[in-house]
Amino acid sequence: MNILPRIILKKGKEKPILRGHPWVFSGAVAGAEGDLVPGEIGEVYSGGGDFLGMGQFNPRSQIILRMLTRRKEVLDASFFRERLLQADALRKRELRGKTDGYRVINGEGDFLPGLIVDRYGKTLVLQCLTAGMERLKGLFVDLLVERFTPKSIFERSDVPTRREEGLPELRGLLYGEELPDRVEIEEYGCRFKVDVKEGQKTGFYLDQRENRFSLREISQGRKILDCFCYSGGFSVHAGMGGAGEITLIDSSGEALERVKDHFALNHLEGIRPHLIKGDGFEVMRNLEPGYDIVVLDPPPFAKKKSHLPGASRGYKDLNLQALRLLKKEGLLFTFSCSHHMNWDLFQKIVFAAAVDAGRRVQLLGRKSHPVDHPVNLSHPEGEYLRGLVLRVL
């Protein structure tokens, strides 16, 4: 094996790696040997000289190395193929027959840090979030073609976090046929048309699939308010579950047009959705109470830890308004997708909203990622979606 560049950690800084954490921060490094080229593979050693593992360097980033293995081994196509097959086996076992829209690779959760791959029917969407995965992009395109024989692979590496890696934002076709404006998928019998080229995230909120289905199961005859609805995923499931009346709020007129398309696509002509374009905070303040179910699925309010105080106020206001709008024995599905909003803080915020709303509230359950968004147990930073199901008395 060729001699690889390496970093040597400060004394005591090896503990996170020994416990399985995939990130090495620059502040933990005592020194380096060899040329640390962004995206290249190298080794990490303890201050005492013990080999700790191998990963991808980026000296431009605060995360100087992202771990790939604790062993000395050749990180070639066979290594990455095995990781891909391991991830695919989980999805095939758990999702077969349920949907053709799901996450194929979930970065650190699938032990491939910095790589996201989503499937929409015969189209794959790839995101390279790190310099290491950017250098391996061509290899992963080949491996994905080999494994899935897609019609197209489209890149959506158009995310601001790439700037922290010293990378430009990229978007475009990597393989196969040019894409139509919308790619159709099926999810538990519901059909959606996904804007892969321009839509939020990689086109659709795949991480809410199971939570949408759980709403569907309790929607019969209910009056539902769907806030920050995007293209109507929650509401389509509610409609398929027999909802009596559905009101949807979003700031985007284009998103609300997609809602209309999705209701038509799923033959929900018997339910005329009430669409409201506007700021969710302001619209909710002006609605009259009387809803059986309210869904709150806002965008992330705390993209940085310093944003938490303002985000907390925002989440409290939203939940207060939602609790005000619910009937007795009504249900609130409330979510946070802010990485820095942990479970304890989120629940405390909702509790404070309940106190201010003067409502007695029961916690019925928690909601999080589906199985195709696994989290490495040693990497709690990978968990971001948190939801509470509440009953108002």
Name every residue whose Cβ is closer than 8 Å to that of residue 134 and which is 6 or more positions away in sequence: 39, 128, 157, 165, 167
Cβ pair 277, 283 in contact under 8 A? no
Catalytic residue among 128, 227, 229, 337: 337
CA dihedral 256, 258, 229, 194 (to 10 degrees): -150
Q: Is 227 a catalytic residue?
A: no
The runs of H, that is alpha helices, within the chain are 15-18, 77-95, 131-135, 137-148, 209-216, 233-240, 253-265, 280-285, 308-325, 343-357
**Phi, psi for 297 (deg, rounded to 5):** -135, 70
Give the Cα separation of 177 and 298 in Å (integer).
Answer: 34
- How many Cα atoms occupy the beta-carbon half-sphere of 26 within 13 Å? 9
| CA-to-CA separations, 359 to 223, 292, 296, 326, 334, in angstroms, rounded | 19, 15, 17, 10, 16
Residue 100 three-state SS: coil
Rg for the chain, CA atoms, rounded: 23
**DSSP states along 320-366:** HHHHHHEEEEEEEEEEE--TT--HHHHHHHHHHHHHHHT--EEEEEE
DSSP state letter for 99? B
Name every residue whose Cβ is closer than 8 Å to that of residue 220 and which is 6 or more positions away in sequence: 241, 242, 243
Give the Cα separation of 23 and 45 in Å (integer).
Answer: 14
Residues recognised as catalytic: 337
